[in-house]
A and B are shown apart, each in its own frame.
Chain A
């Protein structure tokens, strides 16, 4: 049976009124129960229970997002801290290296000073500023010159042993001919047997000791010192150690000596102001 069309719109209105009335009753009931301690009706609880996954999910999502956010912030903080710590490590490493360098310098200078004190002659400290040990003519430049009292033929050594002698000075620099230079000759002796000879540079790493008779007692490992007989080098400065002693073609032995000083690592040196040679002779020094 067909429903008259003019009735149809009224029914939703009727329903609407009924629903509103029911809601009002529900609301009133809900409001009254608040005063007797029961804050939630069963119907309200049911609705909450049905939809409870949504707030729970949102809460979980919010918690996770917050955790992520905090995690991200912590990570950013850690990254910044890491950068800062790396910078500090870099700075401390540099400082440590400087201190180690200073410590090494101090030890070296102390040993040099102690070594210098054994000479009764006047000494002064100098720094190597140029090093030419690769060519046939071996020399170094030191940062002390005639203004500092350095003169030609002053002996240069370090804590390990003899380096050479000054061959040229300017006001503030001096050139030192090294022991290994081809033109260098040093009056020397073998410490164990006191046998005297002459050490000459060969232009190579090692030097040769000449004028030792074939019958003389020389062994590998013997220490060679300056003899103090040449008027330039004072007595007792270590020159090196015999590495090989062979019978020569003539009456003398061929003795190879390894210098006591590693010429590649020279830094500070002692200049021993010998001044034993008259100035007239000095003028003709090489």
Chain B
């Protein structure tokens, strides 16, 4: 069931990605729907599930962007792992906790991408700081709104809300 919900979330993120690409081509420079999904999923505290979610979501993002294939998968996996690891220890709940995780994840994600692009492509990302700030704010706002809506309408905590023993 949780994977079904993740898949639906992934399809929604991809739909959003496609829509923004079609109508506002620069919008994805300021907003990342995939990371919201990954953080929401990782808040459950299942590290293994979070890694898989990060890889899959990252692959989908990579497939429909012009980045080297695996770049976003790498960064999202890192974010997913960090968020899931923290939640497996602290079991954070609530909108503010989600916001804090999401904000941190966006920053980590962008930093990882920045480093990887520097290593692999030997390129500098122009206006990185400004883009990071804007992206963090917009993603955070949208993510918290989505979280609130999900909490209101689905009346549930993030997927895998109950803390589980990490197994595989």
Interface residues of A (CB under 8 A from B): 5, 8-9, 11-13, 15-16, 19-20, 23-24, 26-28, 30-31, 34, 40-41, 43-44, 47-48, 51, 54-55, 57-59, 62
Contacts and interface: CB of A to CB of B under 8 A. Distances in A.
B165 interface: yes
Interface stretch (B58-66, B92-100, B124-132, B138-146): B58-66
Given A23-B77, A44-B63, A59-B22, 12 more contacts: A5-B165, A15-B48, A19-B55, A23-B58, A23-B70, A23-B73, A28-B68, A47-B59, A48-B64, A54-B15, A58-B15, A59-B18
Interface string B43-86: 00001100100010011101110001111011001100100000
Contact of A54 (B18, B88, B165, B167): B18
Contacts, number: 90
B69 A30 contact: yes
A59 B68 CA distance: 24
B29 interface: no
B117 to A, nearest CB: 10
A12 B77 CA distance: 12
Contact of B69 (A8, A12, A13, A26): A26
19 contacts: A11-B166, A11-B168, A12-B51, A15-B48, A19-B51, A23-B58, A23-B74, A23-B77, A24-B70, A27-B116, A28-B68, A30-B68, A31-B121, A41-B69, A44-B63, A47-B59, A54-B15, A58-B22, A62-B22
A57 B120 CA distance: 34
Contacts of B120: 27-28, 31
Contact of B14 (A26, A30, A54): A54
Interface of B: 11, 14-15, 18-19, 22-23, 47-48, 51, 55, 58-60, 62-64, 68-71, 73-74, 77-78, 81, 88, 116, 120-121, 165-168
A51 B48 contact: no
A20 B68 contact: no
A27 B71 contact: yes
A44 B59 CA distance: 8
**10 closest cross-chain pairs (CB), A and B:** A27-B70, A58-B18, A30-B69, A12-B47, A26-B70, A47-B63, A23-B74, A31-B68, A44-B69, A55-B18
A253 to B, nearest CB: 98
A212 to B, nearest CB: 98
> Which of A11, A23, A44, A58 is packed against the most chain B CB atoms within 10 Å?
A23
